[in-house]
Chains A and B, each alone.
Chain A
Amino acid sequence: MSPETETAGAKGAPPPVIPVTPVTSVTALDERQLRRRERKFHNRDKWWGYALIAPAGLGLAVFYLWPVLQTLYYSFTEWGPFGGTTWIGIENYRTLVSDPEVWQSLGNTLFYTVLVLLGIPVAMVLAVLLNLKGMRGTGFYRTLYFLPVVTMPAAVAVVWRWLYNGDIGIINEALAKIGIDGAYWVSDPSTVRFAVAAVGVWMTVGYNMILLLAGLQGIPQDYYEAASLDGAGRVRQFFSVTLPLLSPTLFFTTVLSVIQSLQVFDLIYMILGANTAVGPTNPAYSEGQTVVMLFFQKSFYDNQRAYGAAIVCVLFVLIMALTALQFRLQKRWVHYG
């Protein structure tokens, strides 16, 4: 920059530009010094930064990263019930590929994930409704929808197991009033997956709703004013203004929902009654069992911990792949205004 200015100054006839040259040279010098100083400063800053995140980072490394690596290692071994491992290569993975239970539980988990994703549009509608001006009792409804999020999944499961009871459940009593003979929701292979997914949606809708609500309130009012001046109606405004500007939040909720749904465990485990003596005799058990449930069974009940490790490693890779895929696809639909 400075050489150009200099030449420009030399060419230009009248010399009001004269002070420019020394000034630029001074700034150039200063800049160099500054940059060096800045780098020094930056380095020191960096160390401070590292020092400050060290407690959290160390915890993460010790309690997450190290166990993850260990699990990966154990998945290539045979692991006795009281310790003692033998390296057996990919044997566990070979068994896993031909194990119908693994495939069934993978299918169940993906099915659950898809159904829970359908809860996002529901959360979106709720968020838009609660964001309408002049709506009464929004605070009340927000709390109501958020309540399941802050409730323990185990408690939720116990309550829903009662609601779903085929003989004395409240759902079937209500259905009987209108002449419908309700199913044994969580012990019938044909209904169990929908029944648990409904609870899954019920539990996550509040969380997604709050995120989307925050996203909605971040959209500047000017856009709507401009849109209505251009003659866009409510519906058009929703699709042309709200949706694109909300897409980053939608993307975020989608990614989180997928990760959480793929790891679902306690909710379904307890709704199926797997924690009770009834346990695996639920006729809908194989249709309801998720990957993490299978991992839990193999590792902690069947004493096949290395095989369990292999199962969760597969799940880990699956989650990573699906998340990477979503980040890939976001370019097509997420709009960072």
Chain B
Amino acid sequence: MRRRSLLAAAATTTLAAGCGAPTVTTSDSLRGRITYGVWDVYQMKAMRKAAKEFERTHPGTTVDVQLTPNATYWTKLRTACSGGSAPDVFWLNGPNFGLYADAGQLLPLDTEGADAVFDPGDFPADMTKLYRWKGTQYGAPKDFDTIALWFNKELFDRAKVDYPDGSWTWQDMINNAQRLTDRKRGTYGIAAPVRSQENYYDSIAQAGGWVISKDRTKSGYADPKTMEGLKLWVDLIHRYRASPTLQQLTDTDPTQMFQAGKLAMGWEASYNAATFWADPELRAKIDVAPLPRGRHRASILHGLANVIYARTKYPALAREFVRFMSGKSASLIQAKYGTAIPARNGTQKPWTDGMPKFDLQVHLDAVDYSVPYPISTNTAAWAHKELQMLARAWSGNESLDSATRSLTKAMDKLLAQEGKARS
């Protein structure tokens, strides 16, 4: 075993040497075929187009865009990484980043000097920070999404309620959600699903609470302010009766309910805008406003990054590709296709222009008051517990107090395990 790994190490060194690491910019090292792993079928067109553009401007290269559906992407990627056969460049998201960065599966990216893959000044600071692990940058921000309040104008008109705007507070949202609820018709003011990124992470930040401590060792679910952010949703279902129950939301997805005109309002992520736009009937009926204000104004910022597999055979070419994908032309291609907002500053205009009836500037402005998505090394483990345990409070099977108490305990235990695994 040891012998074999020594051999492997020797092989990689020669390979790296053969690739000519010091002369990154010579055309010799920039030939070859790399694979690019992605999971979103809706972004395939944009990704293929960008890859084509790269091939055109870099003769002698081929970029093979490989789509793996989200459901199997992570299982497959993890297996491929252990086996040494992962794509040279691939997408990563916040909840999974820690795992790969911590295990040394990613190639560090330079952000200054001649070899810089991208300049952090060109991207929202929180996005760059999301893909930095222990002081080293591993991911180049590809896109971002923010959360905003989407609403159905038709239902607002029928209930004679003014459309939401930036001045709304939680209380405004609650009052109007009640007025907009019409149980006879089966329409509700708002949906209160157990969704982290779109719902309770935002409200927790608005209430001044926190999900995970800065050093990623403690759960924030025992903090009364965090609980306030959760209580908003539980109350919208049980106290104000302005949202469908969790059972209803389990049987029918809230975004689908909104699309079907059964919800007057919904907290939705920017990546749904293109789907809403694609339906001409829906397009005419809906619009978007900033999230209401709690104690603070806040919206969760999350986005994907392009990363390079540590054991790629073409590190120089992979770097060049990531550099290209972070650049202006690839960002504009992304923006044009509309599914994701390109992360690069100043390239988002085609995204908003593509859907002129929606006030999409709201989603872009949200970056100014955004809060980063909470992660740790093994985010998936506690995020799953979080959903499961909070669902018990949302459904009314358990009090919010007792649900958050057991969640804090379970999350702290998992975070302690992470710490142990690291040392």
Residues of chain A whose beta carbon lies under 8 Å from any beta carbon of chain B: 80-83, 161, 164-169, 184, 186-189, 273, 275-286, 297, 300-304
Quick check: B82 and A82 within 8 Å, CB to CB? yes
A285 to B389, CA, bound (A): 10
**A278 proximity list for chain B (CB < 8 A):** 193, 249-250, 253
A160 to B240, CA, bound (A): 32
For the complex of A and B, list the 5 residue pairs with the smallest distance between their C-beta atoms, beginning with the closest: A283-B395, A187-B250, A281-B194, A184-B247, A187-B247
A303: nearest chain-B partner, CB-CB:
B378
**A280 proximity list for chain B (CB < 8 A):** 384, 387-388, 391
| Cross-chain contact of A82 among B71, B74, B78, B253 (Cβ < 8 A) | B78
| Cross-chain contact of B247 among A169, A188, A302 (Cβ < 8 A) | A188
A184 to B397, CA, bound (A): 15
A304 to B397, CA, bound (A): 28
Quick one: CB contact mask for B380-395 with A, threshold 8 Å, 1 for yes? Answer: 1100100110111011
**B167 proximity list for chain A (CB < 8 A):** none
**B27 near A: Cβ within 8 Å?**
no
Please judge, given known A-B contacts A277-B253, A278-B250, A281-B250, whether A81 and B392 are in contact too, CB under 8 Å: no
Quick check: A167 and B78 within 8 Å, CB to CB? no
Q: List 19 A-B contacts (CB under 8 A).
A: A81-B103, A81-B378, A82-B81, A166-B247, A166-B248, A184-B245, A184-B250, A277-B253, A280-B384, A281-B250, A281-B391, A281-B394, A285-B391, A300-B75, A301-B380, A302-B381, A303-B378, A303-B380, A304-B381
Quick check: A166 and B251 within 8 Å, CB to CB? yes
**A188 proximity list for chain B (CB < 8 A):** 247
B378 → A minimal CB distance (Å): 6
B392: nearest chain-A partner, CB-CB:
A283
B1 → A minimal CB distance (Å): 11
**B82 proximity list for chain A (CB < 8 A):** 82-83
Quick check: B384 and A283 within 8 Å, CB to CB? no
A83 to B78, CA, bound (A): 9
Quick one: CB contact mask for B179-193 with A, threshold 8 Å, 1 for yes? Answer: 000000010000001
> Which size bracket describes the interface of B in this complex?
35 or more
B37 → A minimal CB distance (Å): 16
**B92 near A: Cβ within 8 Å?**
no
**A189 proximity list for chain B (CB < 8 A):** 397
B396: nearest chain-A partner, CB-CB:
A283
B402 → A minimal CB distance (Å): 14
Quick check: B246 and A187 within 8 Å, CB to CB? yes
A186 → B minimal CB distance (Å): 7
Quick check: B388 and A165 within 8 Å, CB to CB? no
Quick check: A82 and B103 within 8 Å, CB to CB? yes
B101 → A minimal CB distance (Å): 12
Quick check: A281 and B384 within 8 Å, CB to CB? no
Quick check: A275 and B71 within 8 Å, CB to CB? yes
**B81 proximity list for chain A (CB < 8 A):** 82
Quick one: CB contact mask for B248-289 with A, threshold 8 Å, 1 for yes? Answer: 111111000000000000000000000000000000000000
B260 → A minimal CB distance (Å): 10
B344 → A minimal CB distance (Å): 28
B81 → A minimal CB distance (Å): 5
A295 to B165, CA, bound (A): 47
Most buried by A among B105, B195, B388: B388
**B65 proximity list for chain A (CB < 8 A):** none
A108 to B304, CA, bound (A): 38
B171 → A minimal CB distance (Å): 26
A285 to B388, CA, bound (A): 8
**A283 proximity list for chain B (CB < 8 A):** 246-247, 250, 391-392, 394-395, 397
B235 → A minimal CB distance (Å): 17
**B355 near A: Cβ within 8 Å?**
no
A285: nearest chain-B partner, CB-CB:
B388
Most buried by A among B105, B250, B388: B250
**B249 proximity list for chain A (CB < 8 A):** 278
Quick one: CB contact mask for B89-109 with A, threshold 8 Å, 1 for yes? Answer: 000000000010001010000
A71 → B minimal CB distance (Å): 15
- From 74 to 88 in chain B, residues with beta carbon under 8 angstroms from any chain A beta carbon are 74-75, 78, 81-82
Quick check: A168 and B388 within 8 Å, CB to CB? no
- From 19 to 78 in chain B, residues with beta carbon under 8 angstroms from any chain A beta carbon are 71, 74-75, 78
**A165 proximity list for chain B (CB < 8 A):** 251-252
Quick check: A167 and B252 within 8 Å, CB to CB? yes
A183: nearest chain-B partner, CB-CB:
B247
A249 to B82, CA, bound (A): 47
B11 → A minimal CB distance (Å): 18
Quick check: A277 and B252 within 8 Å, CB to CB? no
Quick one: CB contact mask for B220-248 with A, threshold 8 Å, 1 for yes? Answer: 00000000000000000000000001111
A89 to B103, CA, bound (A): 24
A184 to B395, CA, bound (A): 12
**A184 proximity list for chain B (CB < 8 A):** 245, 247-248, 250-251
| Cross-chain contact of A282 among B74, B390, B391 (Cβ < 8 A) | B391
Quick check: B253 and A276 within 8 Å, CB to CB? yes
A165 to B260, CA, bound (A): 15
**A168 proximity list for chain B (CB < 8 A):** 252
| Cross-chain contact of A80 among B103, B193, B388, B394 (Cβ < 8 A) | B103
B63 → A minimal CB distance (Å): 25
A188 to B193, CA, bound (A): 16
A-B contact sample (14 more), CB < 8 A, given A81-B99, A82-B81, A302-B384: A161-B251, A165-B251, A165-B252, A166-B248, A166-B251, A184-B248, A188-B247, A279-B387, A280-B387, A281-B250, A283-B246, A283-B394, A283-B395, A300-B74
